[in-house]
A and B are shown apart, each in its own frame.
Chain A
Amino acid sequence: MALAELTISAGEAALLNAFPPTEAGDAARAQIAADGLPNRRVEAFKWTDLRAALADGIPESDGSAGLIPACLQDALVLDFAPDGFGLEGEKDLGLIIETEDSLELEGAGPLATMAAGFAPRAVVLRVTQSQSRPVVLRRHPGAPMRVRLELDAGARLTLIDTGLATAGLSTGLLEIEIGSGAELVRYSLQNGDTQAIDLTHTSVDVADTGRYQAIALMFGGKLARAETHVTLAGEGASCLIHGAYLLSGHTHADMTTKVVHASPNGQTRELFKGAVQDRARGVFQGKILVERAAQKTDARQNHHALMLSEGAEIDAKPELEIYADDVQCAHGNTIGALDDQALFYMRQRGIPEAQAKSLLVEAFVTDVFDAIEHEGVREWFSELARTWLEASSS
């Protein structure tokens, strides 16, 4: 639209300059020149207005990439910094790491295009046999990441990815192919401050009896959005997607997922829990699409959120779209406040209000983490949640 080009925002102008002169960079530039940044008039971004968040330009990057917790000391760490990509730790047999200057885009949508556009090259991880050593993808403040991950048949990998910038625009694109009977177990952590914009897009393709299992914890930022598009392409493919968002202050976090069942006997388990207070905003958009061919699909989606303050906001859009006739699909979505009666009961026993609230919220979100098989990571995430609760209830 010619008019849109005339009213280009400072942020859009800054972005047009920021993309490198690569094929993907050019594609991203062309997209923004044509459509502008995704904003509230675009259905998929109606609650997460990227144009507004970037209205004043790209915030200066700040913060650190974070320390690798003790429980992951044996991990192979891939660092994505603004000035390049680095490796730390030992690499085992059966893991091949290469870089590619130009790769066809698997992910879809404006975030995928932007994230691909920023990344000077893609890091390609190929897993030919199961890995006992976890791989960490550590995104530094203001850094772009693009990772292509291929799991060969039967291979298993544990992946941890973190984005902890306190300020700046950080992007991530993960394009994942899970082979027959292979399994990816992924734990994601995002933490930001009110000057951090964190955008990630993950596209996953799962072959027959393969499995994608992902558990994410988000604390939000000025705007943080994690998109996941999973296609259960092969028969008997499955995915488990859990997410928790804990938001306070003026933060914003968006968990947007789409799972496509394209073959029979697939299984999806989704559980999302959120707790939002002050003037923070949580967004959940979850779509499950069951194609005609995907008979005997078993899909469940649950999203439950707590509003802890009057000024908080939670927007949820659960969607089931089913074209097969022999399926089991269920979803549940609730947004509520803490149970006053339970609070009074706890206070009557002598537990101060703030502590009672934090016990109740902890109990509310904790089942999101129950699926974490890695004991150290489970404890790490639970501890982060507890720290947030203590800080936010004091």
Chain B
Amino acid sequence: MAQKSLKDPLMLNINNLQVEVGGTPIIKGLTLQVPAGQVHAIMGPNGAGKSTLSYALTGRDGYEVVGGTATLNGEDLLDLAPEERAAKGLFLSFQYPLEIPGVPTLTFLRTALNAQRKARGEGEISVPDFMKLSRDVAKKLGVTPEMMKRPLNVGFSGGEKKRMEIYQMALLDPRFMILDETDSGLDIDALKVVSEGVNALRGPDKGMLVITHYQRLLDHIKPDRVHVLAGGRIVDSGGPELALALEADGYDRYKDAA
């Protein structure tokens, strides 16, 4: 699997992944494939391991991969530093975005964009180009100039933070996006704006993993496939109709599977 095949129809390819947190197995042999151009949803009860999966894929310390593989476009992810994974185009919209005191949002984003470009061997974006890009994207996502001047996420409401995550995502234009409960904290109007922003980033050479606890988000971001994660494994997969069934019946029937 070491060869680099850009033609790999699978963008994200996770095989029998096992992840421990503090010595406790959380992800217990998870297999999941997301082909290019598709959006897959992961649903599951609280504590199922959804966030753990997103942290393991993005390389957070303390989320120890003890078995299995994960590749993006045929390239191994698990040996890379978090910033290297980001430069390969992997983006995580955090369930709980962090506040970064003292670092203005725009400084942060320009630093991130240029760091990724540098890692990919591309030149820096000019300040005027960056300003134009950041303004254009902000307008679409209802991010105010005032928010962009503040230190990143400091004093933002839960909803503003989620909006800011998608704003960052649109600006960095990643190839593979993991959205961890982006819907939580958003009212219905904000949900619409954010979903439109997310949908605009779909494309034939992009992939997405949309993690959610509720079906609501999937009315706006229509998935190609829906997977149920319970007890650290994918216990069911199906089309969008699976999400509707879960909404009606809950996760109880997966209790035993977990």
Binding site for B on A (CB under 8 A): 339-342, 344-353, 355-356, 359-360, 362-364, 366-367
Contact = CB atoms under 8 A, between A and B. Distances in A.
A344 B92 CA distance: 11
Contact of B86 (A347, A355, A367): A347
Contact of A344 (B82, B91, B119): B82
Interface residues of B, number: 32
B203 interface: no
27 contacts: A339-B98, A342-B99, A342-B100, A345-B100, A347-B83, A347-B86, A348-B58, A348-B59, A348-B60, A348-B85, A348-B91, A348-B92, A349-B86, A349-B109, A349-B112, A350-B86, A350-B87, A350-B116, A350-B172, A351-B112, A352-B83, A352-B119, A353-B81, A360-B100, A363-B102, A366-B102, A367-B102
From DSSP, what is the main secondary structure of chain A's interface residues? helix
A350 B100 contact: no
B83 A353 contact: yes
Interface of B: 58-61, 81-83, 85-87, 91-92, 94, 97-103, 107-109, 111-113, 115-116, 119, 151, 168, 172
A363 B111 CA distance: 14
B103 A359 contact: yes
A361 to B, nearest CB: 10
B61 A340 contact: yes
Contacts of A362: 102
B82 to A, nearest CB: 4
A346 B100 contact: yes
Nearest to A359: B103
Given A340-B61, A360-B100, A367-B102, A346 B108 contact: yes
A363 B101 contact: yes
A341 B111 CA distance: 18
Contacts of B92: 348
B63 to A, nearest CB: 10
Given A342-B100, A363-B100, A347 B82 contact: yes
A362 B103 CA distance: 9
Contacts of A349: 86, 108-109, 112, 168, 172
B112 to A, nearest CB: 4
Given A359-B103, A363-B101, A364-B102, A346 B112 contact: yes
Contacts of B101: 363-364
B61 A350 contact: no
A76 to B, nearest CB: 35
Nearest to A354: B83
A346 B111 CA distance: 10
Contacts of A344: 60-61, 82
A359 B111 contact: yes
Given A340-B61, A349-B108, A350-B113, 6 more contacts: A348-B82, A350-B115, A350-B116, A350-B172, A353-B83, A359-B111
A339 to B, nearest CB: 8
